[in-house]
Amino acid sequence: MIAHETLARYSDWAFESAFAVLVLALVLLVAEYATHRADRVAERELVTAGGPPAGTQVPGRVDGPPARTLSERLGNMGRALVVVVAALQVASIVLRGLSTERFPLGNMYEFVSMACTAAVLFGLVALRRPAYRIMWVYLLVPVLILMFLAATVLYADAAPVVPALRSFWLPIHVTIICIGSGIFLVSGVASLLFLLRIRFPQDAEGSGVFGRIAQRLPDAQTLDRLAYRTTIIAFPLFGAGIILGAIWAEAAWGRFWGWDPKETVSFITWVVYAAYLHARATSGWRNTRAAWINVAGFVAMLFNLFIINMVVSGLHSYAGLT
């Protein structure tokens, strides 16, 4: 028992460390966002004053590799810290599982922790291209909020799960749903940024705060492609999770589907994402209309996670909250 309590404490420390490092990473990435404009202005002033543009070779002079700007250095440090965050998140999940001797997906704290980990790990793959790197600022903000809620409102002590969850279906069904939800988070952020980019398509001088934010984003088509390709990955995962959940329900409750609130809203969320994929492939709906459907799917997923689990009672009321 003492060993289990120690592992549980280490798991909490790893989660808290991940949160602290995430805050630092976000500060560095926001600083990268802010200093990029200053670096660009300084480069223009150098060219106006008669100096050669950055990267321009002067005959008779051998130049080394161009020096990295302050913005690039801050961004590289921030993204390096994101890797540390991912490692700490994985360590927290593993230690939680070892401390409870079960798969660590028995309550909302563990579910949100797993979904945030999936979002960060998927982001390390999907946002590795230089054109996407600036999007880390916007992905880490909802991850930070979710981790804060998990550590405060949703936190539950490491303990055995209720008998209904003591099944080999738990790691299969819930893990797939967690991964799909984490990937949908990336897709929802991409669609929201796409809508912002559509609203401010040009260099947003004098267009207010949102215009200044939009000027560093990738172009609208790039954001739209990212949202679409990300949803293509998450959609079958989420659908498979629903189907596997129905199989588990038949084994546990003797029926595949009972229109429990969790089942119903999960199905509605899946239908909304199916509508998004259909709209994205339909002429006349490919731009803002399809993006709004994708955002609606993301909102439905959050509603299913928080409102259904915490407010509505049903057979899936295993939030672990008191």
Q: Kindly state whether residue 114 falls inside one of the protein's structural domains.
A: yes
State whether 11 and 151 are in the same domain.
yes
State whether 194 and 144 are in the same domain.
no
State whether 106 and 144 are in the same domain.
yes
Q: Kindly state whether residue 214 falls inside one of the protein's structural domains.
A: yes
pLDDT greater than 90 at residue 147: yes
State whether 101 and 179 are in the same domain.
no
**Buried-state track 227-256, b at ≥16 Cβ within 10 A, e below 16:** bbebbebbbebbbebbebbbebbeeeeeee
State whether 157 and 177 are in the same domain.
no
Q: For residue 185, what are the contacts with CB-CB under 8 A and spacing of at least 6?
A: 115, 119, 139, 142, 143, 298
Which one of 161, 191, 225 terminates a domain? 161
- Domains in the chain, number: 2
**Buried-state track 286-301, b at ≥16 Cβ within 10 A, e below 16:** ebeebbbbbbbbbebb
State whether 134 and 213 are in the same domain.
no
Mean pLDDT of 157-185: 85
State whether 267 and 297 are in the same domain.
yes
Q: Kindly state whether residue 85 falls inside one of the protein's structural domains.
A: yes
Report which of residues 85 and 252 the model is more confident about: 85
Decide: 229 and 284 in contact? Cβ < 8 Å: no
Model's pTM, two decimal places?
Answer: 0.84
Decide: 217 and 177 in contact? Cβ < 8 Å: no
Q: Which has the minimum average pLDDT: 72-86, 106-120, 157-171?
A: 157-171
State whether 141 and 241 are in the same domain.
no
pLDDT greater than 50 at residue 228: yes
Which one of 135, 161, 187 terminates a domain? 161
State whether 85 and 224 are in the same domain.
no
DSSP for 275-321 reads HHHHHHTSTTSTTHHHHHHHHHHHHHHHHIIIIIHHTS-STT-----
State whether 2 and 98 are in the same domain.
yes
State whether 300 and 245 are in the same domain.
yes
Mean pLDDT of 44-48: 43
Domain range enclosing 147 = 1-39+73-161
Could you report the per-residue pLDDT of 54-79, keeping only the tens digit for each? Answer: 555 545 554 545 667 888 888 889 99
Residue (of 25, 208, 182, 15) closest to 93 by Cα position: 15
State whether 22 and 129 are in the same domain.
yes
Q: Kindly state whether residue 311 falls inside one of the protein's structural domains.
A: yes
- The pLDDT, as a whole number, for residue 258 is 76
Which one of 131, 161, 191 terminates a domain? 161
pLDDT greater than 80 at residue 206: no
Q: Kindly state whether residue 44 falls inside one of the protein's structural domains.
A: no
- The pLDDT, as a whole number, for residue 166 is 76
Q: Kindly state whether residue 284 falls inside one of the protein's structural domains.
A: yes
- The pLDDT, as a whole number, for residue 45 is 42
pLDDT greater than 50 at residue 92: yes
Instruction: Classify residue 283 by burial, with Cβ atoms within 10 Å: 0-12, 13-18, 19+.
Output: exposed
pLDDT greater than 60 at residue 322: no
- Give the position of tokens 């006349």: 284
Evaluated on CA atoms 303, 110, 263, 242, the torsion sign reads positive
Q: Above pLDDT 70, what percent of the chain? A: 81
Q: Kindly state whether residue 15 falls inside one of the protein's structural domains.
A: yes
Q: Kindly state whether residue 60 falls inside one of the protein's structural domains.
A: no
